[in-house]
Structure 1
Amino acid sequence: MELAVRSGLPRTTARVHIDLLLSEDGRRTAAELTRRLGVSPASVSAAVNFLVEYGYVRRERDPQRRRDIYVVDDHAWYHSIVISAQSTLESARAATAAARTFGPDSPVGQRLARGGTYLERVIQDMLESAERWRTLLK
């Protein structure tokens, strides 16, 4: 868990993620997470919302019990990479746009253009690699 916290996950979010990863079927309800981790339902909700937003977990609806089930599966690794890459790609494109604003001859414009180009190319490589190796998750 400490590794997840050091990588930027809030402590409760890390605990929820790890509990889901280590569950036999990768599935838990909010009530199960609350009980297992000894945290409030609001804490579980906030943690799950974060994990869903970044692609680590998905929600499924249990129509019989009328509640959400939170699921982590092998595809979560792929989805989290894609979501993170899209966010970084937005930053790269913003840097490139800002470089045009400052002008290609200014030091700021040059620095932003280089940084934006670098990020965009690295992220494109990462996305291609994630797609190429996706079959390992099936």
Structure 2
Amino acid sequence: MTQQDRARIATGLAEGLSYAEIARRLDRPTSTVSREIARNGGPGDYRPQRAQHATARRARRGTPAPARAEERLGGAMEERIVELAVRSGLPRMTARVHVDLLLAEDGRRTAAELTRRLGVSAASVSVSVKFLVEQGYVRRERDPRRRRDVYVIDDEAWYNSIVISARQTLESAHAALATAEAVGLDTPVGQRLAKAGTYLERVIGDMLSSAERWRPVLE
């Protein structure tokens, strides 16, 4: 990143632009801009000249520290993962939050960190993490020292998300079977619902058994 790029970042922050808008003006990935700001004082203390000097000092030190996961992947690959998550059914904002947590070195971010890194509103992050927590993708921890929530994604999250999703589908299967009995198993509607409910019930039963059987892989 050039000194001119850093000056434009500082101007964008002063104008109150989001990270995404600054990145668009620079024709760079949003993740690149968010990392640049985060490692050089944050949005409230970013200084382009100081950031330039800090980058030069890091370059003079010799071998750099190992790149973090998101740095190794690059913005294009990160966006690809987001797109795959969107195709699987996650809202785009929720997918971005999920992927950012996945790529965190320790799998932990505060709401403020997510807001700053993604360049979005606190309300958007709040809605996204609420959904992720409810679906078992993420768990919420409390930092007692700073009185703030920390959102964590770990290996056990995959097991939890599968179990929660399976149980929700199982409720639908039981509802279908109950409705089939109510309308009559000798009617076309009853027979159709009974088949659907039985199918879902057995598939989900296999899924839960498989999730439990392979759970040690996550340990």
Query: Which runs of 5 or more residues in structure 1 are unaligned?
Result: none
- Alignment partner, residue 21 of structure 1: 102
Shift of 1:132: 0.2
* In structure 2, distance between residues paired with 1:104 and 1:37: 52
Q: Deviations over 1:96-118 (max 9, x none)?
A: 00000111110110110011011
Runs of 4+ in 1 over 3 A off after TM superposition: none
- Alignment partner, residue 156 of structure 2: 75
* In structure 2, distance between residues paired with 1:57 and 1:104: 41
Shift of 1:71: 0.2
- Alignment partner, residue 59 of structure 1: 140
Among candidates 122, 131, 135, match of residue 212 of structure 2: 131
1:96 aligns with 2:177: yes
State the Cα RMSD in Å.
Answer: 0.4
For 1:110, give the aligned amino acid. Q
1:68 counterpart SS class:
strand
- Alignment partner, residue 12 of structure 2: none
For 2:170, give the aligned amino acid. L
1:35 counterpart SS class:
helix
Shift of 1:30: 0.4
Q: Deviations over 1:48-87 (max 9, x none)?
A: 0000010000000000111000000000000000000010
2:151 counterpart SS class:
strand
* In structure 2, distance between residues paired with 1:63 and 1:105: 60
TM-score, normalised by the number of residues in structure 1: 0.99
* In structure 2, distance between residues paired with 1:112 and 1:43: 38
For 2:171, give the aligned amino acid. E
Corresponding residue pairs, total: 138
Query: Which runs of 5 or more residues in structure 2 are unaligned?
Result: 1-81
Identity of aligned residues (%): 78
Q: Which has the larger radius of gyration?
A: 2
TM-score, normalised by the number of residues in structure 2: 0.63
